[in-house]
């Protein structure tokens, strides 16, 4: 498919796999060694950092920073972009990541994950800058996540379908366990933090009433909410379903981050035949203006996402 390929992107994906194995090792030994609990300060998002957040962030920086393949990185845990090898390399890729997503689940043995997004650097040479990080999700060259669940699974797409690899602990390597994943067009699950119900717009409240089956006909779905985006997304990807984190009166721009969470998962969703929206437009079409930009997120089975967009449109068109 790519006769002029240099192999750098493939190697970058191997770097992801290496980082995933190291982080998985820490996660699997949590409780046995001193990696649980908070570090005692907050990150750029104003959220309390956990020891594993910090460890995973360091692992990611070390796994990619000296390879020569990446010139600049950005992490959900750091305020500013991170220059690879202190700016000494001009690798052609940009890496954006959430080193350990689902912080609130770390200490209680619930699935957590690492999310990554790979873009090509815009400038030909040099060490990369903020502009390289602020590209729309549509221009990602690869993206994916690793879920530390009942097994460790790496899911990625480089624009030709979605593929899953399970870490075989016996040989210490990822083995392909699911090729060309296709998500059902209509799902059986809906996933949303319903404790925010009174903070949502009437449109989202309506959507959830339909999904609960208290209004509308035959739309009732089963509720599943883990509180780890990667885990909620992964279940819905395989079984069919929709995950929503709307803007609300507490988080008027939404809670989840465009570059480290929404965009990479939107890329996977679309590659698997699903969809991802901020309620009005595809997540992948949003051109970010800030590194830590937040967005509402509606993601999963294609028809379910379209349904939500329609209900929101109709609710907005209805005079108060
Ligand atoms: P984090 O990146 O600090 O872990 O926060 C993101 C997480 C997502 O994994 C999850 O979907 C969401 O926050 C859950 O939020 P809430 O507890 O408000 O339902
Ligand atoms: Mg996160």
Task: Of 146, 140, 144, give the one whose Cα is nearest residue 157.
Answer: 144
Q: Is the CB of 56 under 6 A from ligand 1?
A: no
Model pLDDT, residue 31: 76
CA 60, CA 21: separation in Å to the nearest integer?
11
Q: What letter would DSSP give residue 38?
A: E
Model pLDDT, residue 86: 74
Instruction: Give the mean pLDDT of 60-82.
Output: 93
Check: CB of residue 108 under 8 Å from CB of residue 254. no
Q: Is the CB of 191 under 6 A from ligand 1?
A: no
> How many Cβ atoms are within 10 Å of 128's Cβ, its own excluded?
27
The domain locations on the chain are: 8-178, 189-317
Identify the band that residue 196 occupies on the pLDDT scale cut at 50, 70 and 90: very high
CA 241 to chain centroid:
16
pTM of the model: 0.94
Residue to mutate (ligand 1; options 43, 116, 256; most atoms within 8 A of CB)? 256
Model pLDDT, residue 248: 96
Model pLDDT, residue 50: 81
Length of the chain equals 320
CA 309, CA 315: separation in Å to the nearest integer?
10
So what's the architecture of 189-317 in CATH? 3-Layer(aba) Sandwich (3.40)
Q: Is the CB of 101 under 6 A from ligand 1?
A: yes
Identify the band that residue 218 occupies on the pLDDT scale cut at 50, 70 and 90: low
Q: Is the CB of 178 under 6 A from ligand 1?
A: no
CA 43 to chain centroid:
18
Q: Is the CB of 227 under 6 A from ligand 1?
A: yes
Model pLDDT, residue 37: 73
Which CATH number describes the domain made up of 8-178?
Answer: 3.30.540.10
Task: Express each pLDDT in 80-97 by its tens digit.
Answer: 999 988 777 788 999 999
- Pairing assessment for the beta strands 93-101 and 82-83 based on DSSP bridges: unpaired
Task: Of 133, 179, 123, give the one whose Cα is nearest residue 156.
Answer: 179
Q: 70 pairs with which residues across the strands?
A: 93
Of all atoms in ligand 1, which is nearest to the CA of residue 228? 9
Identify the band that residue 319 occupies on the pLDDT scale cut at 50, 70 and 90: low
CA 114, CA 124: separation in Å to the nearest integer?
29
CA 46, CA 41: separation in Å to the nearest integer?
9
- Phi and psi for 240 in degrees, rounded to 5? 95, 130
Q: Tokens in use for 140?
A: 């990602």
Model pLDDT, residue 46: 73
Residue to mutate (ligand 1; options 39, 104, 148, 295; most atoms within 8 A of CB)? 104
Percent of the chain with pLDDT over 70: 98
Ligand number, closest to the Cα atom of 232: 1
Q: Tokens in use for 165?
A: 């690899």
Residue 214 scores a pLDDT above 80: yes
The closest residue, in CA terms, to atom 15 on ligand 1 is 227
Residue to mutate (ligand 1; options 99, 114, 229; most atoms within 8 A of CB)? 229
Residue 35 scores a pLDDT above 80: no
Distances (CA, A) of 27 to 40, 108, 251, 274: 20, 11, 30, 30
Percent of the chain with pLDDT over 90: 77
Identify the band that residue 139 occupies on the pLDDT scale cut at 50, 70 and 90: very high
Write out the H or E segment, with its range, that includes residue 157.
Answer: strand 152-157
């Amino acid at each position: 498919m790519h006769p002029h390929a240099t192999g750098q992107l493939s190697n970058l994906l191997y770097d992801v796999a290496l980082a995933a194995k190291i982080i998985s090792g820490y996660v699997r030994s949590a409780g046995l060694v001193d990696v649980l609990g908070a570090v005692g300060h907050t990150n750029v998002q104003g959220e309390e950092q956990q020891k594993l957040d910090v460890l995973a962030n360091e692992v990611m920086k070390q796994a990619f920073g000296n390879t020569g393949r990446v010139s600049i990185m950005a992490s959900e845990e750091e305020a500013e972009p991170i220059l690879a090898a202190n700016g000494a390399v001009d690798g052609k890729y940009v890496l954006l990541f959430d080193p350990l997503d689902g912080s609130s689940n770390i200490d209680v043995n619930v699935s957590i994950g690492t999310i990554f997004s790979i873009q090509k650097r815009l400038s030909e040479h040099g060490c990369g800058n903020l502009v390289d990080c602020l590209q729309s999700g549509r221009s990602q060259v690869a993206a994916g996540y690793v879920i530390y669940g009942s097994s460790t699974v790496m899911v990625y797409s480089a624009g030709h379908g979605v593929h899953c690899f399970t870490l075989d602990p016996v040989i210490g390597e990822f083995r392909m366990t699911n090729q060309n994943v296709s998500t059902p067009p209509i799902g059986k699950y809906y996933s949303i933090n319903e404790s925010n119900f009174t903070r949502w717009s009437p449109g989202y409240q309506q959507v959830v009433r339909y999904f609960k089956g208290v209004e509308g006909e035959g739309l009732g779905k089963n509720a599943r909410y883990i509180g780890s985006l990667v885990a909620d997304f992964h279940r819905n990807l395989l079984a069919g379903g929709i995950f929503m984190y709307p803007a609300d009166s507490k988080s008027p721009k939404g809670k989840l981050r465009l570059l480290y969470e929404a965009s990479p998962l939107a890329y996977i969703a679309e590659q698997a035949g699903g969809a991802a929206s901020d309620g009005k437009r595809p997540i992948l079409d949003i051109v970010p203006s800030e590194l830590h930009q937040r967005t509402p997120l509606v993601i999963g089975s294609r028809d379910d996402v379209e349904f939500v967009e329609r209900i929101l449109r109709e609710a907005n068109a209805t005079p108060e």
